[in-house]
Homo-oligomer: A and B are copies of this chain.
Amino acid sequence: MAQKTALIVYAHQSPVSFNAAARDVAVQALTKQGYKVLVSDLYAMKFKASATEEDIKGDLKNPEHFIYNNEMMVAWQDGRLSDDIAEEQQKLEQAELVIFQFPLYWFSVPAIIKGWIDRVLTQGFAFTLQKMYDNGVFKDKKAILSFTTGGMKSMFTPDGVNGDINVLLWPLQNGVLRFCGFQVLAPQIFWCPAHTPPEGRSAMLEAWSERLNGVFAEKPLSFAPTEYFDLTFQGGFSLRPEVKEKYASEPYGITTAQHLGKPLPPDNQTTAKQS
């Protein structure tokens, strides 16, 4: 049996940061379980973040009107993606588990990780118009967002000054990871390590290590099954009437953003529903 593989997409500038420690803990915990662990240390790699023509080798399909997504799709088919993108795609293909390790910048991923998302998750390779969401290309892979915050947990609640963390996570977890088919595991959130004393920081890292020991048995977060939607232009890619009816008597919406005008299902993007 082939050795299993994990990929850590890591973005911090300093090797002595808490994020670096969280990465090291993950490398250790997964290696101990027999995994081959690949790390993409994006700053160290000087990973290019911007989506440009340089991402494509050879002639453009339509140099008069450059449309990134279209050009990338063709370049992927023809094996003409830039080497840095092709390498990341090869790592991603091998990985059963992908961990994104980063500090939250402006309530989202740092630009260098957004660049990895924009450039590596090429149409054809990471999704097609037929293969997305729970029919997605990466449906046999798991993904985790693991990140540090500058603020404390109570700021990120439905009555906190920054609002519900579930809302912040939705575009990344549903719009990027779930869109490509990933089984999205609960995010690993390190609340404000910069203002936590050393023992607290150690405890956070220990909890992360322990979680990773059981990570492959974890239940993923809940998203709406694509069969709930009429995925045709006439149907508007909207909920099927019978599903809408079924949910009419439910107290909560389906997910954080497919809320149907109802209260959001609590912790939809942070905690897996136990069945």
Using a CB–CB distance below 8 Å, which chain A residues touch chain B? 13-14, 16-17, 42-43, 46-47, 49-53, 64-69, 105-112, 114-115, 117-119, 121, 133, 150-152, 154-155, 157-164, 167-168, 170-171, 174-176, 179, 194, 224, 226, 229, 231, 233, 236-239, 244, 253, 255-264, 266
Chain B residues within an 8 Å CB radius of A236: 152, 154-155, 160
Complex CA distance for A159 and B246, rounded to whole angstroms: 13
Residue of chain B at shortest CB distance from A70: B194
Chain B residues within an 8 Å CB radius of A111: 49-51, 111-112, 114-115, 117-119
Chain B residues within an 8 Å CB radius of A150: 69
- In order of increasing CB-CB distance, the 6 nearest A-B pairs are A163-B257, A107-B175, A154-B236, A111-B115, A49-B49, A167-B257
Tell me how many chains of this kind the complex includes.
2
Complex CA distance for A155 and B229, rounded to whole angstroms: 10
Whether A238 lies near B161 (C-beta < 8 A) is: yes
Contacts A51-B105, A115-B115 supplied; 19 other A-B pairs, CB < 8 Å: A14-B65, A49-B115, A50-B110, A50-B115, A106-B117, A107-B176, A108-B175, A111-B115, A111-B119, A157-B238, A158-B257, A159-B239, A161-B224, A161-B231, A161-B237, A161-B238, A164-B257, A164-B258, A261-B264
Known: A111-B115, A163-B257. A233 touches B152 (CB 8 A): yes
Other-chain residue from B14, B46, B155, B158 in contact with A259 (beta carbon distance below 8 A): B158
Complex CA distance for A40 and B51, rounded to whole angstroms: 17
Chain B residues within an 8 Å CB radius of A158: 253, 257-261
A107 to chain B, nearest CB (A): 3
Complex CA distance for A153 and B52, rounded to whole angstroms: 27
Other-chain residue from B50, B176, B226, B263 in contact with A49 (beta carbon distance below 8 A): B50
